[in-house]
């Protein structure tokens, strides 16, 4: 797992540049490209915080709303079969497609399958590989598990 800096709601990376022989980082999860450098970990962290402050000041001075990292909205391309299975599941459980996606993401993240590109979910008490999800009826947990997330 990669470590990141956190400051004022922004996150930043930290890497070593062998070409420049220094530490470099980039503010993550926004479209703007904001880079910072430092000779030591402490300098890199300070440079990150200064870059975030400068970005916010630039936005204020130019009457621009600063980008929010991870606004809570994103598009997902899942293919026809998975889309159909998810919309059927939503209908069968009287919930929205958005709620199906939220619950699936929460389940995946809560069970910490970050190392696996395939994972298994329990569908009607029978383990099924996610690749076969469109052929099965799926039973969702009754409630979302938001206590796993801050």
* Domain range list for the chain: 5-62, 80-115
Q: Is the pLDDT of residue 88 over 50?
A: yes
Tell me the pLDDT tens digit for each residue of 114-135: 444 444 444 443 333 444 343 3
Average pLDDT over residues 73-81: 91
CA 91, CA 85: separation in Å to the nearest integer?
10
pLDDT top residue among 112 and 144? 112
Average pLDDT over residues 29-57: 96
CATH class of 5-62: alpha beta
Predicted TM-score (pTM) of this structure: 0.62
Q: Check residue 70 and give its pLDDT.
A: 85
Nearest residue to 13 (alpha-carbon basis) of 23, 28, 1, 29: 28
């Amino acid at each position: 797992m990669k470590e990141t800096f956190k400051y004022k709601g922004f996150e930043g990376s930290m890497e070593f540049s062998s070409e420049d022989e220094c530490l470099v980082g980039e503010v993550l999860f926004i479209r703007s490209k904001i880079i910072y450098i430092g000779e030591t970990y402490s300098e890199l962290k300070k440079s990150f915080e200064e870059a975030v402050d400068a970005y916010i000041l630039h936005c204020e001075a130019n009457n621009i709303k600063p980008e929010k990292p991870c606004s809570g909205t994103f598009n997902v391309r899942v293919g026809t079969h998975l889309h159909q299975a998810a919309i059927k599941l939503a209908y069968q459980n009287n919930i929205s497609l958005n709620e199906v996606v939220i619950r699936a993401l929460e389940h995946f993240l809560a069970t910490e399958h970050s190392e696996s590109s395939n994972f298994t979910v329990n569908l009607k008490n029978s383990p099924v590989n996610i690749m076969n999800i469109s052929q099965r009826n799926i039973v969702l947990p009754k409630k979302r598990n938001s206590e796993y997330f801050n």
